[in-house]
């Protein structure tokens, strides 16, 4: 799974560069930044948006060879697709093409991110489309040129999809909570200590590249798992959490 974090644009700024908060979330629209400058990675594009983009443009996500960063919650109607329908019904995902990054890895990370968004928002693979689909713009340029074909990209997305359970979950099913990533082990240890000492849970740290996650022991039933997830969020231990099968 690609490392995910949020760097959300303030609502006052978002209101200036979106159509509002009524996104139908029917499509996922795939873009490339077309910015090959050194350092033009996901964090740079997230900072551009949070500091006030000089262009009349906005997008929900930017993803590079290291991580995916969310700038807008999905309910915002971002100005990315070039048409009213694309903007008001689409979740916009920008793939970074900075020359000091690994484009192939960025595309793989985008596929992982999009599979997650599909699962979260119940969007079908048929509605994962190129920017070109709405406006006719040659975007995503490298994919359209065949650097990684669109067909292969969609196959990457489907290979990342969460398998549908053969049987509906029951209150006897076991679940764990996993946090988003922390940049240092000490940050993860601080969260681990709260879970163990204050909450009395079993928990441990998992390393993912140079970053760290905290994973809990098991909870029985969806209600218990959701309650635990809410407890983590209420204590502000993690911006992102996921309930996974144990």
pTM, 2 dp: 0.66
**In the CATH hierarchy, which fold is given to the domain comprising 174-245?**
Alpha-Beta Plaits (3.30.70)
Spell out the residues 6+ positions from residue 48 whose beta carbon is closer than 8 angstroms to its own: none
- Taking residues 100-120, report their average pLDDT: 96
pLDDT value of position 171: 64
pLDDT at 119 over 70: yes
Confidence of residue 155 (pLDDT cuts 50, 70, 90): very high
Q: Report whether 204 contacts 246 (CB < 8 A).
A: no
d(CA 208, CA 3): 9
Tokens of 82: 């070039």
Q: Tell me what the pLDDT averaged over the chain comes to.
A: 92
pLDDT at 163 over 70: no
Q: Do domains 3-160 and 174-245 have the same CATH topology?
A: no
d(CA 158, CA 226): 27
Q: Where are the domains of the chain?
A: 3-160, 174-245
Confidence of residue 245 (pLDDT cuts 50, 70, 90): confident
What percent of the chain is predicted at pLDDT more than 90?
A: 83
Tokens of 65: 């060879």
Confidence of residue 170 (pLDDT cuts 50, 70, 90): low
Place domain 3-160 in its CATH homologous superfamily.
Peptidoglycan recognition protein-like (3.40.80.10)
pLDDT at 181 over 80: yes
pLDDT value of position 172: 76
pLDDT at 26 over 70: yes
pLDDT value of position 166: 53
Q: Helix/strand/coil (H, E, C) string of 21-47?
A: CCCCCCEEEEEECCCCCCCCCHHHHHH
pLDDT value of position 187: 94
């Amino acid at each position: 799974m690609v490392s995910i974090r949020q760097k959300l644009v303030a609502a006052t700024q978002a209101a200036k560069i979106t159509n509002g908060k009524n996104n139908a979330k029917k499509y996922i629209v795939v873009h490339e930044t077309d910015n090959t400058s050194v350092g033009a990675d996901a964090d740079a594009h997230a900072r551009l948006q949070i500091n006030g983009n000089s262009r009349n443009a906005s997008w929900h996500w930017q993803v590079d060879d290291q991580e995916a960063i969310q700038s807008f919650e999905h309910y915002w109607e971002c100005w990315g697709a070039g048409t009213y329908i694309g903007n008001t019904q689409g979740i916009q995902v920008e793939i970074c093409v900075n020359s000091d990054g690994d484009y192939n890895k960025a595309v793989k990370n985008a596929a992982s991110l999009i599979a997650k968004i599909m699962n979260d928002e119940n969007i079908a693979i048929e509605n994962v489309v190129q920017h070109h689909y709405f406006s006719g713009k040659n975007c995503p340029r490298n994919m359209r040129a065949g650097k990684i074909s669109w067909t292969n990209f969609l196959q990457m997305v489907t290979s990342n999809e969460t398998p549908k359970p053969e049987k509906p979950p029951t209150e006897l099913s076991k679940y764990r909570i996993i946090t988003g990533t922390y940049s240092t082990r000490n940050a993860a240890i601080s969260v681990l200590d709260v879970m163990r000492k204050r909450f009395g849970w079993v928990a441990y740290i998992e390393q993912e590249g140079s970053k760290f996650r905290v994973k809990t022991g098991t909870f029985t039933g969806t209600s218990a798992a959701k309650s635990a997830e809410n407890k983590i969020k209420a204590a502000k231990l993690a911006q992102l959490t996921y309930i996974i099968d144990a």
